[in-house]
A = this chain, B = another copy of it.
């Protein structure tokens, strides 16, 4: 069930350049079904910011009633978030979307690929996948100061970090790293900028995979048609907020829409 609730901020701290980790607590957490779902956060006081901001659930625990988001400071909304202090409350709508369906996967060689702020939803995913599968993670960042969660991923997956400028880990894009392991992958998961997702979709077109897609959102619940993406289904489109944000790699055709 989707709830709208004030969650309390347990902590809110910088973990990399312009990147924050926020821990939230409240009953809404009990509604989370899968990694890859997201929450829609109200920004600011009153009605000055009419659109909520979507952030992936990076981790969650039904025991502690807590969830984690990791966010980059981009514009007004994320800047406001970064200034909220512990013990205060933020208004959250969620959990939204369907997340990564992984129940059918066991004893597989699984690849998890994330770029920048596409990394967060893969963390809870990797934790869960690793219980029954062999997981490799490839995480791409701008440069050394923007790297986060490497050690945490390392606990559950054989993790390779790549940076665009080579200042840490491998130099180049995640696609460069994937090139070398293409044949050893049974199933893949990816989240990141559209251009990265498109490239991976093309590169791994013979492998099954799930992609988590971003789009500017209005309602977040499927009512406003802001977040549609062309798709290979009866209607010809999907709503990212409601039908996604995770899609099967052969359902949405990203490399076409970016060319």
Contact = CB atoms under 8 A, between A and B. Distances in A.
Contacts of A45: 44-45, 48, 80
A80 B45 CA distance: 9
Q: How many copies does the complex hold?
A: 2
A165 interface: no
Interface residues of A, number: 6
A76 B76 CA distance: 22
Nearest to A46: B48
- Count chain B CB atoms within 10 A of each CB in A44, A45, A48 and give the residue with the most: A45
A46 B44 contact: yes
A76 B46 CA distance: 9
Nearest to A47: B48
Contacts of A80: 45
Contacts of A46: 44, 48, 76
A46 B75 CA distance: 13
Interface in A127-149: none
Nearest to A83: B45
Nearest to A48: B48
Interface in A46-75: 46, 48
A239 B143 CA distance: 58
A237 to B, nearest CB: 35
A80 B48 CA distance: 14
A256 to B, nearest CB: 39
- Count chain B CB atoms within 10 A of each CB in A48, A76, A80 and give the residue with the most: A48
A76 B45 CA distance: 11
A44 B80 CA distance: 13
A45 to B, nearest CB: 6
A48 B44 CA distance: 10
Contacts of A44: 45-46, 48
A89 to B, nearest CB: 13
A45 B45 CA distance: 8
Nearest to A76: B46
9 contacts: A44-B45, A44-B46, A44-B48, A45-B45, A45-B48, A45-B80, A46-B48, A46-B76, A48-B48
Given A45-B48, A46-B48, A46-B76, 6 more contacts: A44-B45, A44-B46, A44-B48, A45-B45, A45-B80, A48-B48
**Lowest 8 A-B CB distances belong to which pairs?**
A48-B48, A44-B45, A45-B45, A46-B48, A46-B76, A45-B80, A44-B46, A44-B48
